[in-house]
Structure 1
Amino acid sequence: MALEAGARLGGYTVTGLLGAGGMGEVYRARDERLGRDVAIKVIAQALASESKELARFEREARALAALSHPNILGIFDFGEQDGVHFAVMELLGGTTLRERLSGGPLPWRTAVAIATAIAMGAAAAHARGIVHRDLKPENIFLLADGGVKVLDFGLARRDPAPGAAAAPEEETLIGTAIYMAPEQILRKPADARTDVFALGVVLFEMLAGRGPFTRSGIGDTIGAILTEDPPEIAPPGGTVPPALERIVHHCLAKDPEERLQSAYDLVFALGEVTALPPGAARAPAWPVRIAIFLAGALVGAAAAALFFLLR
């Protein structure tokens, strides 16, 4: 049941509905104590009665609460009131990377800047032992001021110890097929290198306008991920430096041991590519600032949480 404007959840007053999906609703609200606008994600009551879905909702809240980084969506509060389970998050203005890609591939320097910001956010999560496991354009938010945020840690889990057996949850396929690493498909434990693979897929898609392993059906897509080498990027009407293509292919290695071993490694590798002479490729048409030193509240007309409710 949707909350009406004026409804109170803890110290927050709902001011309007931003969107709804299968997981629940996202509202714009006012933090009465601190005098700021926030986004409140409310899990659907039907799902709140299911222990697995409620556990996922709580896991995301705890994962975000453990992280504080300019490239990760921030969470302010989490609670339950009269059977309503909710999380209070940053209110962001901008668009998802998926929406941005609907206009076609990006200039390579723009793609590298976005990928670097994603990798920095992922590296911060990995440093706390948290693996995202579902990095994809729908879960990347491009802020109106040029910043980049990683969203939706609902599938995140703690990095397993070396040699650890798969957790019971990994007996089922976790993630989004076209961005899954081979070890996810094979239901092996995921670690930071699993996110590096997904980052490689996202970077490939930003450069080429298509995924490296996307096929007409899920079965064919999974088969391609497990057995086929990624094609050349060859973006329409543009060029990609050979060094950048090598980095992408390095991320997409089937064996985790053969990939870049951390998101930090990817940040450093991409930094070397951006040191190429400006004449090596066309300047980006869309300004992106890697948000390392950003501070303060980011306020806009839409909540980033809306987009991972509607996945």
Structure 2
Amino acid sequence: MKENDRMTTTKQQQEKAQLRKHALPVGSTVLTGKSGRKYKILEVLGAGGFGITYKAVAEVKLENGMTASMFFAIKEHFMKGCYRDTDRTRVLCPPTLKGDVEQSREDFRTEAERLMKLNGQSPHIVKVNEWFDANGTRYYAMEYLDGQTLEQYVGGRPLPEAKALSLLLPVARAVELVHKERLLHLDIKPDNIVLKTDLVSGAVFPVLIDFGLAKHFDGKGRPTSHLVAKGATEGYAPMEQYGEIDHFAPEIDVYALGATLFYLLTGKNPPKAFEMETVASLPCKLPPDVSPRVRQAVAGAMQPIKTSRTQTVAEFIAALESAEGASGKKEEKSGEKTVPFKHKKDDKAWFRKRPVVVGAACLLVCLLALWGRFLYVTVNSDEWKAKHGDVEAQIFLGEDYLSEGDTLNAIYWWTRAAEQGYDSGQEKLGDCYYKGVGVAQDYEKAVYWYTKAAEQGYPYAQKKLGDCYYKGEGVAQDYEKAVYWYTKAAEQDYSVAQFRLAECYALGLGVPQDDREAHEWWKKVKANGYAPYTLPREKNGTQASQ
């Protein structure tokens, strides 16, 4: 695990641990729902997002008039920054958070109501029984599922294709229903799918749980949730999920479904979106007995570029359910006979047919020409070339995405080029980390990629690496190393590096102070038409040579 990933995971674990510290007292707390049920808190199940989840027990009246003790999962709205009163039950929050807490609590209620609306529509979505207010906050009660998660069930062992599909397809259909309510789940993964056993039939079936990251959108695709818990499970989240989700995008959940199917078939977590070498390699990672249709479905669902990905859950389901015996369909209707064509001796009849034959031939030629043109344009497009490993096309495509404001896809293609050892891609990736464009600003990673490109002799990266050593950004400040890299770039007639080198000689930074050498480099700068300003004053207070 990389250092940044480890730090992020540690931070998330610390936040969850902090939330657990604020949990209700176990064994002595009783919550009363709108239904009149008394929910006794038995244990803390988890924490994250905007809430803490508990296991509870309550007496439920049956249809025959008798009562029975049943378990429930209770989710409590509890935002980071809130705390308990001295009674350890009432939730309090600072005045500065009051507006956010009230808005978030309202979103919490609408989340519960939307899930309640789905009750009965699918047994594969966790059932929400009711929501209610207590202790200065809000709760909702759900069915409690004590079965294994898919992650526990698989346990690192790949499942046969038929078994994997029997577990994944019901969940996919449930997600399709969720999407019809304009709701994205945003956290589909094996650990959020629980196996439930029907008490009557004994059948075991999967149930999708944990809507803590879910986000709702209106009819125009705009988010209605004002405050949302951000998060992305590596391997199950596409690149765009690491940014702001500002429109209804079912393809995000499609990616997670494809990744979950990958896990079921291999017993291993899929590669992280940013580290996937190429989507074409995914089918190769699947066991050899997996059918071509399923390989294609997984690859289509996990396309890194969102516009190339399977766009809806319905399309993903159709890809998995496509008939295997399509090639065996009858080509002729029952009772029809194929009659071989014979020329008649009647020349007049043949000449009457001749225009039709010639017209059909011309049409065929035109269609072939159009198809050839289409293939020519396709194979010469940057996107086609980039997908097939052309590093220059990957750079151009990344620049196109950047010009459209799509930094995630720009970084993706530059990463592809950089990992193939292309110096321009390495330099551009260094720029992203240096400036914090599309990624968190990280000077050390910028230096890493600048060094990769600089060592290949790329002058622009050499100059930027020299800047890092000059300023002490991402590395210890070292004027000598700065001069070393400035010299490398300057010798390739890069005027900006020549100017930096002239400055170093004028000021005696990393090299002995030398007016003559400074002047020589300054002349080259002026000859190249780059002279933003005069050289700085020397240490002894005299003006450097102009």
Tell me the residue number matched to 1:122: 175
Give the equivalent residue in structure 1 for 2:244. Answer: 187
Q: 1:231 pairs with 254, 270, 282, which one?
A: 282
Structure with greater strand share of residues: 1
Q: How does 1:22-171 map to 2 (within 5 A)?
A: 22=47, 23-34=51-62, 35=67, 37-43=70-76, 46=82, 49=92, 51=101, 54=105, 57-58=108-109, 60-68=111-119, 69-83=122-136, 85-144=138-197, 145-159=203-217
Q: Which residue of 1 aligns with 2:425?
A: none
Q: Is the 8 Å Cα contact of residues 17 and 25 (structure 1) preserved in structure 2?
A: no
Where does the alignment leave 5 or more consecutive residues of structure 1 unmatched?
A: 214-220, 277-311
Establish whether residue 9 from structure 1 lines up as the match of residue 32 from structure 2.
Answer: yes
Give how far 1:163 is off. Answer: 7.8
Q: Map 1:252-267 to 2 at 5 A.
A: 252-267=302-317
Q: Distance in 2 between matches of 1:118 and 1:274?
A: 22
For residues 175 and 207 of structure 1, the distance between their equivalents in structure 2, rounded to whole angstroms, comes to 22
Pairing of 1:197-236 with structure 2 (within 5 A): 197-213=255-271, 221-225=272-276, 228-229=278-279, 230-235=281-286
Count of aligned pairs between the two proteins: 266
Residue range with higher mean Cα deviation, 125-134 or 38-47: 38-47
Deviation at 1:196, TM superposition (A): 0.3
Give the deviation of 1:124 after TM superposition. 0.4
CA RMSD of aligned residues (A): 3.2
Task: Answer 1 or 2: which has greater helix percent.
Answer: 2
- TM-score (normalizing by structure 2): 0.43
Structure 1 residue ranges (4+ consecutive) displaced by more than 4 angstroms after TM superposition: 33-36, 44-50, 52-57, 160-170, 233-236, 273-276
The separation in 2 between residues aligned to 1:44 and 1:168, in whole angstroms, is: 15
Per-residue deviation, 1:70: 1.4
Give, in whole Å, the separation in 1 of the partners of 2:124 and 2:115.
12
The amino acid of 1:29's aligned partner reads V
Q: Secondary structure at the match of 2:321?
A: helix
Q: CA-to-partner distance for each residue in 1:94-118, whole Å, 9 max, x for gaps?
A: 2111111224121111111111011
Give the counterpart letter for 2:46 in structure 1: G
Counterpart of 1:111 in 2: which secondary structure?
helix
* CA deviation map 1:199-236 (0-9, x unaligned): 111111111122331xxxxxxx35225x6324335456
* Higher RCO structure (Cα 8 Å, ≥6 apart): 1
What amino acid is aligned across from residue 87 of structure 1 in structure 2?
Answer: Y
Partner-residue secondary structure (3-state), 2:204 = coil
Are the counterparts in 1 of residues 213 and 230 from structure 2 also a CA contact under 8 Å? no
**Secondary structure of 2:282 counterpart:** coil
Q: Which residue of 1 aligns with 2:233?
A: 176
Paired AA for residue 179 in structure 1: Y
Structure 2 SS opposite 1:231: helix
Contact 1:203 1:248 in 2 (8 A): yes
CA contact (8 A) 1:244 1:270 kept: yes
Answer whether contact 1:132 1:156 (CA < 8 A) is retained.
yes
Percentage identity across aligned positions? 23
What one-letter code is carried by the residue in structure 2 that aligns with 1:224?
A: E
Q: Is the 8 A contact 1:134 1:175 kept in 2?
A: yes
Query: Which consecutive unaligned segments of at least 5 residues does structure 2 have?
Result: 1-23, 84-90, 94-100, 198-202, 327-546
Report the secondary structure of 1:240's partner residue.
Answer: coil
Deviates more, 1:30-39 or 1:176-185: 30-39
Q: CA deviation at 1:24?
A: 2.7
Which stretch has the larger CA shift, 2-11 or 131-140? 2-11
